[in-house]
Chains A and B, each alone.
Chain A
C-alpha cells in the first residue's frame, strides 16, 4: 500500500512568485523579498484604508495577487505577485506518509502548517550540470568577451611611461620631477578605446580622454574595438578619424587650473578656424588638468599658432604648445 503526499512548487521560470502555504507546501520567497508573514502584522497596526487584496485568475492558469500595505515610512505599497501553482504528486512509503502527519514539537511547536518563514527560505536558482569539462566551462564564463577583447588589445602592449613614453613605469621615470605628467586621462582613454600608442615620445592621443581607467568599466560605446567608439571620439586625434586632425592638432600643456575651454578657443581662433578645443578636466573637481588639445581646420594655421603661442603667458603660467603626436 502506498500513501500519497501532495505538495506544491512553483514554476521557477516564472521567477516572481510567492505562495501562501497550506498543508505541506513549499514556499518561494518573492523576488522583492516581501514577506507575506509581515502583512498581517502591518494590517493590524495601521488604519485600514487599504483597498482589499485582489485575486485575478489569468488565462494561462496563473493567479495575480495584488495586495496593499504600509511600509515603514507610512507609505502605501502595492505588491503585485503572479503565482503559479503546480501540484506534484509523489508516491511515498506509508512510513514517510505517516511522518508527514506528525505534530511539530520543540521550538517549532507553535509553527503553523507548512514551512515557517523564519527557518526556511528558498535560495536563488543554481544551475548545476555535471560535465566532464566543467572546469573549462567555468573558465569561459569568467572570461566574458569584453575582458577577452581587452586582453587581446593589451597583449602586445608594453609598459609605457606617461611622462616620456619610455619603456618603464611612470613612477620610475628619470624625468619625473622635471616634466609634468601628460595625458593621464588621455592614456587611460587610449587603453579603454583600444588605440595602442607606440609613439617614441610625446603626445597621447586624447580621443576618449577621461572615458575610463584601466581595467575598469568600459561603456558600451567603447566596447568591441576601435571602430565602435566613434561617438565618443568624434573629431578626436585617434583611430581612423585621427588622420586629418593629427596634422593640425596642437597639444597645449602647462595650462592653468582655472582655464576654460572658451578662453582657449578665443586665444587660438586668432590664427584660424578652430574645429575643436579639448581641455582635460578632473572628473570630480571640474578643474583643468593642465593640458589641452586644439584642432585647426588648416595645418598652416596650426603652425602659425604653434609658433606664436609657445611660451605665451596665460593666467600666470607659460604655455607650452607643440604638435600633438599621432596615435600609432
Chain B
C-alpha cells in the first residue's frame, strides 16, 4: 500500500478522526488549525481557523454536520463542517483535552484540564444538530474529578454511561444522566496516564491506551478487562478496526527523547494486534516521530495515523490485509459457509 502523506500541519498532531461514513478525516495539531481531508485521495477540503491555542481534540457528529474542537485556549468551538464557519464558542477556566459527541450527536462532552487551582472536569453540552440553530450556552452537566483528573472520556452505547480514563491509570464509569460515579477501577499501572480511549462500532466496549505500554479492551457495562495488548513502547493511541478483528496501537519514545533515538529504535510504527488472540501480527513504519494518534476508517478500508513529526499518513489496506486469517478463523469461516450451502440445498429440496 502506498500511504498518502498529509502535510497540512506545522506542528505535532494531536488527534485524527474519521467521520461516520469514512470519507472525511479531521486532524488537529498544536498549530491552531483544524484540517479536513478527503480520505480516498488526501485532498484537503478546508481548514477551520479561529482557535488561538494548540488544539488537543476534535470530533464530528454522526451526520457530518457539526465539528467540535477543544483547545488549549480554554475553549470548545463548534464548526459548520461544510463551510468552516465557527458557530459557537464555550469558554472554560482551563484547556480542553478531549471532546466527543454521543451516538446521536445531541450531546457533547468535554474534558477540561486540572490547572491553576481548577480541578479537572468532564462537562456535557447540549447540541442541536443544525447549522442554523442557536446553541445552548449553558452546560448541561459538570462532573468534577476530585481524585485524579480525567485525560480522556467518551459516551457508551445509548449514551448510558460516560467512561473516563484518568491520569493515575484508572478508568471510571459515570452515569451519563446524573453524573454520579458508578465505578472506578485501576486498570492500567498506577500513575501511568490513560492516553486514549476509542470505541468499538457498537460502543459496548472500548480500547484504552496507556503510557504503561499496554492497551486494553474493556466493557462499558462493568469495566471488565477483556483483552490486554502488550507493546514495548509507551502508547499514545489505540483503535479498533471494523471488518477485521484487529486493533492498531500507536506510540513511541516520548517526544523529548526523539532526537536521541533513531527511527528504528524509536519504535515509531503502528502496531497491529489481533483483537481476539492478543498477538502482534504486523507493523507499519513510516513516521519519524512517535505516533500521537491513530484512527481506523469506519468502513474498514484503511486507517490513518498522526505523528509528532507533523504528518498524517493515510493508509488504504491491500488485499493481503483482508485475506489474513488465523487457521481457526479460516476453519470457522469454511464451516459456516458449508453449513449455509447445505441449508440452501435443503431449502431447494423442500421447495421441490
Contacts and interface: CB of A to CB of B under 8 A. Distances in A.
A binds B: yes
Contact of A95 (B4, B37, B64): B64
Interface stretch (B111-119, B223-231, B320-328, B344-352): B320-328
A102 B45 contact: yes
A100 interface: yes
Contact of A119 (B7, B281, B286, B313): B7
Given A128-B321, A131-B282, A131-B324, A7 B2 contact: no
A92 B19 CA distance: 14
24 contacts: A5-B40, A26-B40, A90-B40, A95-B64, A104-B45, A104-B46, A105-B46, A106-B33, A107-B49, A108-B45, A108-B46, A115-B41, A115-B42, A115-B43, A121-B7, A122-B2, A123-B2, A126-B284, A128-B1, A128-B315, A128-B317, A128-B321, A131-B324, A134-B282
Contacts of B42: 26, 115, 119-120, 122
Contacts of B64: 95, 99
Interface string A155-184: 000000000000000000000000000000
Interface residues of B, number: 47
B139 interface: no
Contacts of A125: 1-2
B199 interface: no
A56 interface: no
A124 B2 contact: yes
A81 interface: no
Given A95-B21, A107-B49, A122 B282 contact: no
Interface of B: 1-8, 21, 23-24, 33, 35, 37-38, 40-49, 64, 82-84, 246, 272, 279-286, 313, 315, 317-318, 320-321, 324, 326
Given A99-B64, A108-B46, A126 B285 contact: yes
A120 B5 contact: yes
Interface in A103-156: 104-109, 111, 114-116, 118-126, 128-132, 134-135, 138
Contacts of A95: 21, 64
Given A107-B33, A131-B281, A134-B282, A119 B44 contact: yes
Contacts, number: 136
Most chain A CB within a 10 A radius of its CB, from B3, B24, B317: B3
Interface of A: 5, 7, 12, 24-28, 90, 92-93, 95-96, 99-100, 102, 104-109, 111, 114-116, 118-126, 128-132, 134-135, 138
B311 to A, nearest CB: 9
B2 A135 contact: no
B320 A132 contact: no
B38 to A, nearest CB: 7
A170 B260 CA distance: 32
Given A120-B6, A123-B3, A126-B284, A115 B44 contact: yes
B38 A100 contact: yes
B228 to A, nearest CB: 18
Given A26-B41, A129-B318, A132-B326, 11 more contacts: A5-B40, A7-B40, A96-B21, A104-B44, A104-B45, A106-B33, A107-B47, A115-B43, A119-B6, A130-B281, A130-B321
Contacts of B38: 24, 100
A116 to B, nearest CB: 6
Contacts of A27: 41
Given A95-B21, A128-B321, A121 B43 contact: no
Contact of A105 (B5, B83, B284): B83
B320 to A, nearest CB: 4
A196 B7 CA distance: 53
Contact of A134 (B40, B43, B280): B280
A92 B84 contact: no
Nearest to A134: B282
A116 B2 contact: no
B313 A7 contact: no
Nearest to B47: A106
A106 B43 contact: no
